[in-house]
Amino acid sequence: MPPPLHHVVPMPANVSMQSTRWFTLPAEAQILVEPSTPQVVEVAEHLAAVLRPSTGYALPIAAPAAGVPRGSVRVRLDPSGPAAGGDEAYTLDITDTSVLLVARHPSGLFRGIQTLRQLFPASIEARTRERGPWRLRLARIEDAPRFAWRGAMLDVSRHFFDVDDVKRYIDLLAKYKLNVLHLHLSDDQGWRIEIASWPRLTEYGSTSSVNDERGGFYTQAQYREIVAYAASRYITIVPEIDMPGHTNAALASYPELNCDGVAPPLYTGIKVGFSTLCVDKEITYTFVDDVVRELAALTPGPWIHLGGDEVEKLTDEQYARFVERVQDIVAKHGKQMVGWEEITKARLAPTTLVQQWRGGGEKATAAAAAVAAEAVRQGTRLIMSPASRVYLDMKYDATTALGLNWAGFVEVRDAYDWDPVTLYPGIAERDVLGVEAPLWSETLVTIRDVEQMAFPRIAGVAEIGWSPAEWRRFDEFRQRLALHGPRWERLGVHYYRSPQVPWPREE
């Protein structure tokens, strides 16, 4: 029997008790932090920030005094708590008199408050005072993620999204317990991160975008701000500098990176595969070393993504040698490399991660399976992003205005109804580090466009990453998902009203 919690996405791993009785949040409720360390208080503040505007309650954050006042919400860090499930595991006990959230690590507390907010009525998400009553069904939830990497990728190169847009996306990802945001920071159409040792990358290479609609870049200070914002939501930023292909913006900025020493013009189209760094010149490796060194210094997370996709201008041998050299550069700067699946043509370190992206549906599945098998043979772990399942830039159906369709249409069911381990033969649970939903922005100009493509599909991807495979059924999921429509409306999220989901008319 699947856990019968009808609102929560992703579905919790284990709901060991559920009653028809209610806990009611009283107006004088407190949020008790145990202990009152800065990280626990920060999580409690996140919870208070959700609950205060809609309830109108003061919800002071306090250290527990003698006894637990009725109606308290207790947020407790307990390093001796259950070890199973890793740092993000938590338990949530809702009794008639209190709510108790326990985790070994603050990230578990943060994941737990996402569950708690979803257990309240949708109007809890409003930023205006709402009526209540603010009730929760009595329950005991023991929850932990299936996969360690539950990611989303945002392409800020084809069109640029500013710091506030990225923060908004981070907030939306956090609600669904995603824990990785991969930023695609460079491509043919624009370079988006300040690199002090190569200033023309942004002075010149950031000024273009697809159709010249939206260029720009992050200063290093702005990038740090994004990293810190994500970290406070227990989301790791994985920066990507795509190479050796997808580099026109860099090649246009520095003639010496080109084999013929001539800088091409900036590029505003959407074709792929035509550009490459000059892999036989030493300056190319000086360039990569500088970029990786600066990026590694700005990035606390363990990973640097170096792309590696869709290179048409090199032989396999040239390509493999390049990948092996840049893999060493990433290691030298203390990070682990991530690359798109093409990097399996090279000899990979066991710590390198391979992001599988082609196939997923009928098309090209044999080739995708072969790549996945090669990654496993080399002892590297996989991040699964099969295009015909989780490319959020694919149109939902023939009527979708935004997006592309080279991998087919991707409706809510397609994005949900597959499994990262069984999609291709010969892959075991331990070979898969997780799942990630890329959002390429050739056709997306505003954050509204991004939301329209991401929601609701990304909630399904989040569930694939978090919830036990054995309970997942699309027919049940779509009922639960439907209840998130009213939440997104409260939050001003532009989402696609898929005909596959039984959206409620009014709450």
Judged by CB under 6 A, does residue 357 bind ligand TNX? yes
Judged by CB under 6 A, does residue 345 bind ligand TNX? no
Residue 266 CB: number of other CB atoms within 10 A?
Answer: 21
Judged by CB under 6 A, does residue 57 bind ligand TNX? no
CB nearer ligand TNX, residue 259 or residue 272: 272
CB nearer ligand TNX, residue 134 or residue 357: 357
Judged by CB under 6 A, does residue 217 bind ligand TNX? no
Whole-angstrom distance, CA of residue 502 vs CA of residue 482: 6
Closest to 498 in 3D by CA, of 368, 399, 354, 432 = 399
Q: DSSP string of 171-233?
A: HHHHHTT--EEEEE-EETTEE-B--TTSTHHHHTTTS--GGGS----B-HHHHHHHHHHHHTT
224-263 footprint of ligand TNX as x/- string (CB under 6 A)? ----------------------------------------
User: What are the distances in angstroms from CA 290 to CA 17, 207, 295?
Assistant: 55, 21, 8
Q: Are 442 and 395 in contact (CB under 8 A)?
A: no
Per CB under 6 A, the list member of 90, 267, 303, 340 interacting with ligand TNX is 340
Which parts of 389-448 interact with ligand TNX (CB under 6 A)? Answer: 391, 393, 404, 440, 442
Whole-angstrom distance, CA of residue 477 vs CA of residue 11: 9
Judged by CB under 6 A, does residue 373 bind ligand TNX? no
Q: How many residues bind ligand TNX (CB under 6 A)?
A: 10
Three-class DSSP category at 444: coil
Q: Look up tokens 């397609």; give the residue.
A: 414
CB nearer ligand TNX, residue 39 or residue 211: 211
Q: Which residues are catalytic?
A: 310
Closest to 442 in 3D by CA, of 317, 272, 274, 240 = 272
DSSP structural state of residue 404: B
State the nearest-atom distance from the C-beta of 93 to ligand TNX, in Å: 43
Which parts of 264-293 interact with ligand TNX (CB under 6 A)? Answer: 272
290-329 footprint of ligand TNX as x/- string (CB under 6 A)? -------------------xx-------------------
CB nearer ligand TNX, residue 60 or residue 269: 269
State the nearest-atom distance from the C-beta of 395 to ligand TNX, in Å: 11
Q: Look up tokens 């640097």; give the residue.
A: 304
Closest to 310 in 3D by CA, of 187, 434, 392 = 187
Beta bridge partners of 135: 24
* Residues making contact with ligand TNX (CB under 6 A): 272, 309-310, 340, 357, 391, 393, 404, 440, 442
